[in-house]
Amino acid sequence: MYQMKRFSTISLLLAGILCGCTEENLTEDHGISRDGDEPVKFVMEVLPVDGLPADTKVAHGGESFETGDVIHVQADFTLVDGTQTTSYDCLELGSDGEWISKESEDSGIPSSPMMWPWDAEKATFRAYYLSHSSGILVSETARVLDELQSEADPLYAEISDVPYGGAVHLEFGHLCTMLTVSGLTENEQSFWLEMDGIRDAFSLTRTENELSFSFITSDASLRPGGRNHVEGQSSGDGSVTFYLAPGDYSNIDITYRYGLAYLSLTDLADLGNLEAGTSYTLQINPGSGNVDEADEEERWPDPDDTSDDILLNTEEIDAMLEAIHDGDEYVSNAGVPIIAQDDNGSVLLRNLDFQNNSFTPQTLPNGAVLDGNYHYIKNISGSALFSQMNGRVSNLGIVGGSVSGTGIANAGILSPSSSASAVMNNLRLKDISISVTPSGSGVCNLGALTGNSAGNVIGVSLGGTVSVTVESDNVPGRVHIGGLVGQSSGSISGVALMDDDDPVEITVRCRCLFPEGAGADYAEGDRYVGGLVGLCTGTVRDCTLSATVDASQTQGVLMYTGGLIGMLRGAEEGSGAASSAVSLSGSVASCEVTGGLAYPLDNTTNGEGRSYTGGLVGYSYYASSVSDCVSMGTVYGHDYEPDFTPYENSYYAIGGAFGQIFGADTDVSGVDVRGDIETSITPAADDLYFIGLFAGRADKDYSSGNTVNNSGGYDFTGELGNIHY
């Protein structure tokens, strides 16, 4: 399972050359008479390197040092009287191939050349090569081990009892151990290695003339606001190499970049003592008992845990959003890194708390990416996070968000609207409130995520209390309101409830009325209300939702209410041209659904009002298909209104799955109705009120291939055929 390979060694030859002596005088005690201290001239040689790992930058390929390379040398001289003295020198390889004492570029003060004391008997030499250290060491230099992906790892050499004037031959060894892990997820650029007490940095300290090297745990000066780890680069082939401090790595975590949970490795005895200068290879095998792979749920932290949240003020929020817009990194006023940049775009590094502060939202441009990195942004108030979504947001949670106001055309906590280029993927919304009072004519689109979406929504989990409300006593315009999206011409898939212990309550409430005597003044006043989306002219698939959808206090010329979708529209009403891009599939609705009141206006087509209410869809009009869906929950009649009597020239249709289906080319199959219809209304033969176990009204028989498991004594379809749109 493990393969070991010794790092190669580099040899350094220090020759003590007596410069300035023209003759040597023999003495009885030492054999040489010395007139004074003599400088030590260093001559270095890199021995041939065998088996040097290809990604090890030490010694520049194992051939030679290069001009500008620097080493730090400590010499402990033992004098003839038994005492010791210590010298330090910083040596740089010059363009002429000579090693010379390094002059400080900042101070202009040269280091003292290392000298053999005239009365020295022998010496011990210690030398360090740190690729990042290019000058005289004043006190300390430190580096995180991450940097060794692009730099040489540190080297050390020591030799003792070198006699006075003798050649000093040093063989350099690697201070790090090297661990290569293979069998990981492919196409990743990097991985992190984490464990308790990890030493993720190294330090070389100079105290007077003495040098001391150690592996350390990085602090804020080396890794501001970050978590301790060692990063390793990957070429995308599922393998990664880490340069580590020697030690015990029998219990480690391999994470994705920025600490996203991936693998936990436990009780790996063979990694219990990784030694300096040794290379190890670990192959991850599927199903290994000591390898635990994190699932999607484990990557998300507890949204209610505030211990690690970074609190931001208005200035910081604005600066962060501007950095995302511009593709820049962002560090908070306290020095905490918040936004990083990688090859894909912006990456959120911490859980954030906006503290309900006001801020100025920014557009997320086309092509821009925000990877939430499984973090939460909390307490967003007064505005959506972005003013317009044209880019991509993924792996982001929003907890405690609210948008409210009057005269707002589009509203959602992520953005008011999103273009066709937008992608919203793997998101979590918890405790979101959208409450708007529309004014005047025009269109109002409201959803917990976004109001009007032309893009792709993929994988959204809803939790806590999610409330989307529109309310006004004077709404002549059109309203599209959904639990997630108000109006969608793009795609929505993979919506579900959060998998935690907290109850989830989703409420979509529409209360929009016409002013008294409005019949002669207005030509429209449509209300599309859905637990998921109000008006869908795109696709919905693989969504599971439990919600209360309440339009009971609403008047609408076209009043379409559904557990999932208010209206699924494949063509403009009246055109009769179905669209292959409009469909609903693989979804489950367990909703309490109450429709609104049909309110005819004198200036509308045919002067009719229509109220269609269904457990899945209020009105399916020329959609391509509806397939493999389940409708549960309850669809309520309109007897919530005391002494309910339909307005003249108003049509009502309620059904376990559909209020009304219209469109000869629509394929409806695999729909199972299990919910109930609750109403005391008994339609008379001449009434315009229709109830069906499957659909209130339909243009053809859809009983083949679909099932009803509800009761109530109603027909499969309340009215079959003989209907117009």
Per-residue pLDDT tens for 311-331? Answer: 999 999 999 999 999 999 999
Six token digits for residue 185: 């997820």
Which residues touch 22 (CB under 8 Å, ≥6 apart)? none
Encode 197-207: b = buried (16+ Cβ within 10 Å), e = exposed.
ebbbbbebebe
Long-range CB contacts (< 8 A, 24+ apart) of 329-336?
A: 331/224, 331/225, 332/225, 334/225, 335/220, 335/224, 335/225, 336/224, 336/225, 336/310
> What b/e sequence results for 102-127 when a residue is b if at least 16 CB atoms lie within 10 Å of its CB, and e otherwise?
beeeeeeeebeebbbbbebeebbbbb
Predicted local distance difference test score (pLDDT) of residue 104: 52
- Sequence-separated (6 or more) residues with CB below 8 Å from residue 302: none
Q: Which stretches within 52-192 are classed as H helix? A: none
Question: Are 215 and 199 a contacting pair, CB within 8 Å?
Answer: yes
Provide the edge-to-edge strand list for the sheet that holds 291-293. 230-233, 190-194, 252-256, 260-265, 291-293
Listing DSSP states for 295-310 in one string gives: -HHHHSPPTT--TTPE
Q: How far is CA 335 from CA 1, 227, 379, 717, in A?
A: 43, 14, 22, 65
Which strand ranges, in their side-by-side order, compose the sheet holding 527-530?
A: 410-411, 443-446, 478-482, 527-530, 558-562, 609-614, 650-655, 689-692
pLDDT of residue 24: 38
326: three-class secondary structure by DSSP: helix
Strand partners, 577: none
Residue type, 302: D
Residues in contact with 430: Cβ distance below 8 Å, sequence separation at least 6, in sequence order: 303, 397, 398, 399, 400, 462, 463, 464, 466, 498
Distance CA 529, CA 591 (A): 13
Rounded CA-CA distance 70/56 in Å is 18
Instruction: Give the CA diameter of the chain.
Output: 136
Q: Which amino acid is at 292?
A: D
Rounded Cα gap, residues 57 and 190, in angstroms: 19
Q: Output the CA–CA distances (angstroms, integers) from residue 361 to 384, 487, 658, in the order listed.
A: 7, 21, 39
Contact (Cβ atoms closer than 8 angstroms) between residue 412 and residue 388 = no
Task: Extract the tokens encoding 81.
Answer: 């009287």
- Note the pLDDT of residue 476: 72
What's the DSSP call for residue 323? H
Residue ranges, the chain, pLDDT below 50: 1-34, 46-63, 106
Residue among 673, 663, 718, 664 at smallest CA distance from 696: 718
Residue showing tokens 């959208």: 434
CA dihedral 207, 211, 215, 218 (to 10 degrees): 40
Locus of tokens 């300035």: 20
Count the neighbouring beta carbons within 10 Å of the beta carbon of residue 509: 20
Token pair 């003599």 is found at: 38
List all residues 6 or more positions away from 704 whose beta carbon is below 8 Å from its beta carbon: none
What is the spatial distance between Cα 358 and Cα 314, in angstroms, rounded to a whole number?
A: 6
Q: Which of 679, 706, 690, 686 is nearest to 654 (CA)?
A: 690
DSSP bridge pairs for 675: none
Gap between the Cα atoms of 134 and 616, Å rounded: 70
